[in-house]
Amino acid sequence: MTTTAILASVAEDVSDTNDPMSINVLLLLVMGVLFATGIYLLLERSLTRVLLGIILVGNAVNLLIVIAGGPAGLAPLYEKDIPPEEYADPLPQALVLTAIVITFAVTAFMLALIYRSWVIAKRDEVVDDDEDLRIAEKGHFDVEEDAEVAADTSEFTQDDVDAKGARP
Amino acid sequence: MLVVTTALFVAAFAAPLVFRRLGRSTFYVLAAVPAAGLVWLLAQLPAVLAAEQTAPTGSDSAPPGFSVPWIPALDVHFAFRLDALSALLGILVLGVGALVLFYCARYFKNDDPNIGPFGAQLTAFAASMFGLVTADDLIVLFIFWELTTVLSYLLIGYARTRIYARRSALQALIVTTFGGLSMLLGLVLLGQLAGTYRLSSILAAAADGVPELAGTAADIAIALILVGAVSKSALVPFHFWLPGAMAAPTPVSAYLHAAAMVKAGVYLIARLAPGFSTTAFWHPTLIVLGLATLFVGGWRALRQTDIKLILAYGTVSQLGFLIVVTAIGTPDAALAAMALLTAHALFKAALFLIVGIIDHQTGTRDVRKLSGLARSAPKLFVVSLLSAASMAGLPPLFGFVAKEAVFESVLAAPSLADGRFLGLGVAGWVLVGIVAGSVLTFAYSARFVWGAFATKASVPATEFRPVAWMFLAAPAVLTAGTVVLAWIPGTVETLAAPYAGLFGESPEPIHLGLWHGLTPALGLSAVVVLGGAAMFAARGAVARVQDKLYPLIDAEKFYRYTIGGLDNVAVWVTGRTQSGSLQYYLMVILIVGGATPAVAAIFMEQPVPLSALAFETPTQLVIGLCMIAGALLAVRANKRFLAVLMVGVTGYGMAIIFALHGAPDLALTQLLVETIVLVAMVLALRSLPARLWESNPSGKKWLRAVIGIGFAAVMVAIAVAAQAGRVADPISLSLPKMAYEIGNGHNIVNVILVDIRAWDTFGEITVLVAAATGVASLIYVRGRGDGGRATADVEPGSVGRGTEHIHSSSRRTAALAIARHFAESAREAWIVAGRTLAPERRSIIFEVVTRLLFHSLLLISVYLLLAGHNLPGGGFAGGLLAGLAFVIRYLAGGRYELAEATPISPGTLLGLGLAIAATSVVGPVLVGGELFQSAALEFVLPVFGEHKFVTSTIFDVGVYLVVIGLVLDVIRSLGSEIDERSEGRGITERHDDVHGTTEGAAR
């Protein structure tokens, strides 16, 4: 028996009892916990924890998509005599598959960021943006921009006039 | 006429290149282009004047024109039309444009910075202006209108280093685009009301009295358009931008701010007047604002000490004058307006060019410094005197002819007779206003000539070098026009007559001419001359009165306060909302993201699930509970790796959940990804301290928990609603059949990825390439780090020596001895570069296992790739598995082992993968198919039997290679490179030299 066949047979056991409109409380609970913990970590200042939060939220979203796609079913491997509604919905699976790989890429990128942040600044945390803080403390716009400036009464400096006067 | 516009634009684009070759003489070449356009235009004149002005484009009697559909869905056409009004404006635009460009060749120096772009902008302006006056489509007209605005901005700001120039440029831009926006609204409204955007059709309809164009909506549309015209032509209360715009080089002022751009507003009013001069807001707005501008401009011109500003305020005043006359809407007034427009373009452009010459030769434009120029520059003086006299309205010059015509037309304006104010009819007020304005005009004209040329007792004579005739030519030609036209006023009358004819027949038509006999108009001219002369003579007293009254209202100050206030509000809002804290931003996003569906759920009926199931299988229950525990522990963990492991638990749990759900592909991919992520995490985070915080600085624990739980609750509700709310059959019911019959694969998920939704996948692997490159760049900083030292050159046992804390207990010493022996015996080389590792880091079991596993894993990965079309697997899973094989090689043998294992650099793999995928996208097109089309090739191999190869597998090969490249980049960057940087030091020490950084100093 191949792995696929085992997986398919497991799925078959459960698919009989499933009504498409029924909900699975356990999966919902798992998803809820993943979301809650993920967001809790995401809102931390520690970059490592933010990354872990992203991974948890990523898992939660993948689970959400799979749950929303309907109840469990047969592995979506086409056989002529199986009616299409017997399969687990393949479309959300394709979406989630790309999402898993993308999450991997994002995770790797975040890891590189964490490393660089640590190497440069010995920091593993998200600090407030200095520029934003500077603007927040400021009451008004740059004064120099608003000051009155005398109009010029010539486009030419004296040097220009001398140089050009010679050969107008 | 599109040829002229296009030729000018082409010349503009080519200009910077020519400037490099020819220097300032390029301006001569540029001047030739509008000059040629002018010749073409003059050749068209007989046809234009003979045409029936209102005939629709395309009919036999219509003026030259054409229309090409541009955005048919919005009824926008590239429509152009050359009727009499357009031709008259076109002559001014091209004629003055040619002369100004000619003049520029002597005004600028060869080495002036940005002279190339300047020439290009000025030529492009001529093109836009000509496009503007010939456009016959509201939207096309608007585009050219805004083009002139933008070019004006660039030209005013030519002196980039002067703050005054930059600020004036911006001010002009803001004011005129404000008007432009209002105008766009009006144009769209007008177009929608009329059911067409064709200007000539709209005007014809309005003249016929179509009811749609006579109601309140049309009144509002016209009022909005007038805001645009009024702001462009610098009428009160927008007049202040024009004097500011004098920061532009003087040729620009002469062209844009005297002869051409500011006339765009006048043109638009002249264009609309035949159809809309009787709408509700037309006369009140234009006549009141026009008269106010006429007066304010003239009044303030008298106060200026800069001769250029005298002219600038004079222009403001004259624009008000022009608008009043243009707006009246009688055939006589239309004729007078056209004469005045021509006269003004001639004398004002000439005077500006003269100011440019004075500034150029003496280095000042200040009347308090200029003295004695009448004597030192007699030719210049004569030219100026003639033009200034024309401006003042003295005979026998064209300015006088035009002004006489205006007086006559206002005296005979019957449409203005009704309505009285202070016992005087509207026409009476207009007449009084015009006469008063003309008195001021005379006074500032005199002040200009006196200020620029007179010998002043207290001022030493200004040094003035002789002017080359090439330099003086342009103003001289314009002035000659002023003189000559006065004697042949019939020319202008012929040109303007078809336009004036649009307003119907005048009972006693006026004519342009120097002498009409002793008419009331002549009397008014005499009043003007006497009044103006008296005002100039008593200029001391006038100045004292002005000092007392000035400034009653300053529109520019109002503008500055408005803009300043806006800036301050922006800073305030930014400061309040942008706290710079990522946490805060995320909280806002999450709260909104959670609250929106929650609120919607409260107010809308929700589907209720019919049945609920606690769990599907006992396995699912166990796994689910493990995941919940893992997630909670990840939050609690204060050691870095513990937290990582706990998150890993949820990841592996996901794989099993997928498997139970009937998603073997997902399970496989998740399993592989989770493993690689775990390794990558350990590798990357090993440089960081083991503990997360001592004390958690993030704070707001409870708030974060509430947001997290709240958001999670909303997502759960969404999931419930999504399941319970199913009403339709899922679209994926047709996918299995499609996958098999069209995509030729049993594995539906894989067929979706590589065939049905292959574009998505293509986008995704591009993201993977970007992420891989990002990781490599962040770690290597310079380049991708391809290439490196050959393994053969590395001293055995040198890698990672001294980084492990080996304690000196005897058992460890014994183990070390065995390890050393193992390391040094070259015979049992299980892996290629194992010997490079420090002995204490090697593991014989791991090396042997690696030796056994590596090639098997690679083979399986290829199998997964090829079989993936029919069985779980495919490019993603295969690539990840192959990547994992390399990860194992690295872990067992260190970075040289990894380098030995990968003869092809990850960068090449990524590129190759993307190229193969792209080939499979485009390939089918080359053999006559569609993008991404797949085909099945069936063949028989001697040993392997019957086979079917689906071409979309080629795409999957690309995916496979990209994924391997990504994994390799990750492991090489986070593994090998960090190893190398930390060599010989404690791993958590700093090992990357970034200059000048201490704690937080990189910030």
Residues 800-859 of B with CB under 8 A from A: none
B757:A104 CB<8 A: no
Question: B560 vs B172, which has greater pLDDT?
Answer: B172
**What does the alpha-carbon distance between residue B654 and residue B656 come to, in Å, rounded to a whole number?**
5
pLDDT above 90: percentage of residues in chain B: 50
**B665–A93 CB contact, under 8 Å:** yes
- State which residue of chain A sits closest to B722, comparing Cα positions: A68
Most confident among B179-193, B742-756, B892-906 (mean pLDDT): B179-193
- Residues in chain B with CB shorter than 8 Å from the CB of A67 are 719, 722-723
Are residues A94 and B757, on separate chains, in Cβ contact within 8 Å? yes
CA distance A107 to chain B (A): 8
A104 Cα to chain B: minimum distance (Å): 7
Give B46-81 pLDDT, tens digit per residue. 999 998 888 888 888 889 998 999 988 888 999 999
**3-state secondary structure (DSSP) of residue A88:** coil
- Exposure pattern of B207-243 as b/e (b: 16+ CB <10 Å)? beebeebbeeebbbbbbbbbbbbbbbbbbbbbbbbbb
pLDDT band at B832 (very low <50, low <70, confident <90, very high): confident
pLDDT confidence bin for B826, thresholds 50/70/90: low
A22 → closest Cβ in B609, B681, B761: B609
DSSP reduced 3-state for B562? helix
| A16, A19, A40, A45: best to mutate for the B interface, most B CBs within 10 A | A40
**B684 and A115 in contact by Cβ < 8 A?**
yes
Contact residues, chain B, for A159 at CB < 8 Å: none
Backbone angles phi, psi at B14, to 5 degrees: -80, -20
Indicate whether B230 pLDDT > 50: yes
CB contact under 8 A, B109 and A160: yes
pLDDT of A59 > 90? The answer is yes
DSSP state of B412: T
**Nearest by CB to B574, which of A73, A135, A146?**
A135
Substitution target from A30, A102, A133 for chain B, most B beta carbons within 10 A: A30
What is the CA B734 to chain-centroid distance, rounded?
45
pLDDT for B429 equals 86
A11 with B660: Cβ contact below 8 A: yes
Q: B777-790: per-residue pLDDT in tens?
A: 888 877 666 666 66
* Contact call for A112 and B663, based on CB within 8 A: no
Percent of chain B with pLDDT over 70: 91
SS3 category, B460: coil
B703-to-A40, B583, B591, B708, B953 alpha-carbon distances in Å: 9, 11, 11, 9, 50
**pLDDT per residue as tens digits for the range B273-287:** 998 988 888 988 999
Report whether pLDDT(A19) > 70.
Answer: no
pLDDT in tens, B417-448: 555 565 667 888 889 999 999 999 999 999 99
CB contact under 8 A, B1003 and A14: no
Cβ of B670 under 8 Å from any chain A Cβ?
Answer: yes
What Rg value do the Cα atoms of chain A yield, rounded? 31
Joined together, the tokens standing for residue B464 give 């003035």
Which pLDDT band, with edges at 50, 70 and 90, does B894 fall under? confident
Question: Which chain A residue is nearest to residue B738, measuring alpha carbons?
Answer: A78
Buried b / exposed e along B893-918 (16+ C-beta atoms within 10 A): bbbbbbbbbbeebbbebbebbbebbe
Among A62, A98, A163, beta carbon nearest to B764:
A98
| Owner of token pair 């902008």 | B121
Residue B785: predicted pLDDT: 63
Interface membership of B606 toward A (CB under 8 Å): no
Give contacts of A126 with chain B, Cβ < 8 Å: 582-583
Q: Per-residue pLDDT tens for B13-36?
A: 999 899 888 888 999 999 999 999
Give pTM, 2 decimals: 0.71
Q: How far is B90 from chain A (nearest CA, A)?
A: 30
How many helical (H) and strand (E) elements, i.e. helices and strands, does chain A have? 7, 1
User: A39 pLDDT exceeds 70?
Assistant: yes
Q: Chain B partners of A151 at a C-beta cutoff of 8 Å?
A: 164, 246-247, 306, 309
Name the minimum distance, in Å, from the CA of A75 to any CA of chain B.
4
Residue B988 has pLDDT above 70, yes or no: no
Does residue A144 register a pLDDT over 60?
no
What is the per-residue pLDDT for B325? 93
Chain B (373-412) residues lying within 8 Å, Cβ to Cβ, of chain A: none
Select the residue from A119, A137, A145 to test the B interface by mutation, using most B Cβ atoms within 10 A. Answer: A119
Q: Give which of B791, B861, B876, B806 is closest to B839, Cα–Cα.
A: B806
The SS3 call for residue B152 is helix
Q: Kindly tell me if the per-residue pLDDT of B965 is higher than 80.
A: yes
Q: By mean pLDDT, which of A48-52, B59-63, B312-316 is the weakest?
A: B59-63
Would you state the pLDDT for residue B574?
83
Q: Which residue of A has its CA nearest to B358?
A: A154
Candidates B613, B962, B966: best to mutate against A (most CBs of A within 10 A) is B613
Nearest-Cα distance to chain B for A54, in Å, is: 10
**Model confidence at B964: pLDDT above 90:** yes
- Chain B residues 101-130 within an 8 A CB cutoff of chain A: 106, 109
Residue B487 confidence (pLDDT) = 92
* pLDDT score of A153: 77
Please indicate if any CB of chain A lies within 8 Å of the CB of B577: no
- Of B638, B633, B635, nearest to B690 by C-alpha is B638
Distance from CA of B493 to the nearest CA of A (A): 39
Tens digit of each residue's pLDDT (9 = 90 or more) over B694-747: 555 556 788 999 999 999 999 999 998 888 888 888 888 888 888 888 888 889
Structural domains of chain A ordered from first start: 3-14+21-73+87-164 (1.10.287.3510)
pLDDT digits (tens, 9 = 90+) for B940-955: 777 777 777 888 889 9
Facing residue for A98 by CB, picked from B696, B761, B779: B761
Is the model's pLDDT at B149 over the cut of 70? yes
Residues of A in contact with B880 (CB under 8 A): 101
Residue in B706, B749, B989 to test binding to A, most A beta-carbons within 10 Å: B749
Contact status of B722 with chain A (Cβ, < 8 Å):
yes
Q: Is the pLDDT of residue B797 over 60?
A: yes
Q: What are phi and psi of B736, to 5 degrees?
A: -55, -45
| B:330-349 residues touching chain A, CB 8 A cutoff | none
What are the angstrom distances between the C-alpha of B922 and each of B504, B570, B755, B876, B911?
A: 65, 49, 13, 21, 16
pLDDT attached to residue B949 = 80
Residue range B489-522, pLDDT digits in tens: 999 999 999 999 998 888 888 888 888 888 888 9
CA-to-CA distance for B1 and B65, rounded, in angstroms?
A: 8
Q: Which of A24, A30, A139 sits opposite B628 (nearest CB)?
A: A30
Question: What residues in A contact B247, CB-CB < 8 Å?
Answer: 151-152
ipTM surpasses 0.85 = no
The mean pLDDT of B39-43, rounded to a whole number, is 94
Residue B970: which of A27, A108, A113 has the nearest Cβ?
Answer: A108
Compare CB distances from B613 to A25, A56, A132 and report the shortest one's residue.
Answer: A25
At residue A147, the pLDDT reads 62
Within an 8 Å CB–CB cutoff, is residue B468 touching chain A?
yes
Model pLDDT, residue B860 = 94
pLDDT at residue number B2: 81
CB A31 within 8 A of CB A67: yes
Interface of B with A in 849-878 (CB under 8 A): 870-872, 876
- Residue B552 has what pLDDT? 60
DSSP string, B49-68: HHS-TTSPTTSTTSPSEEEE
Confidence at A4, pLDDT banded by 50, 70, 90: low
Most confidently predicted of A13-17, A32-36, A41-45: A32-36
Domain locations in chain B? Answer: 1-280, 291-537, 758-1002
**B370-392 confidence digits (pLDDT tens):** 998 999 999 999 999 999 999 99
pLDDT at B991 over 50: no
Q: What percent of chain A has pLDDT over 70?
A: 74
Query: Distance from A2 to chain B by nearest Cα, in Å?
Result: 11
Confidence class of residue B573 from pLDDT cuts 50, 70 and 90? confident
**Residues of B in Cβ contact (< 8 Å) with A147:** none
No. of helices (H) and no. of strands (E), chain B:
37, 7
Paired with A77 in beta bridges are B747
pLDDT confidence band for B539 (50 / 70 / 90)? confident
Q: Which residues contact B177 (CB under 8 A, 6 or more apart)?
A: B146, B149
* Contacts A–B by Cβ distance under 8 A: 463
Tokens 């959300």, located at residue: A92
Q: Between chains, do B748 and A90 touch, taking CB under 8 Å as contact?
A: yes
CA-based nearest residue to B228, from B183, B259, B258, B164: B183
pLDDT at residue A143 in the model: 56
- Looking at residue A16, its pLDDT comes to 45
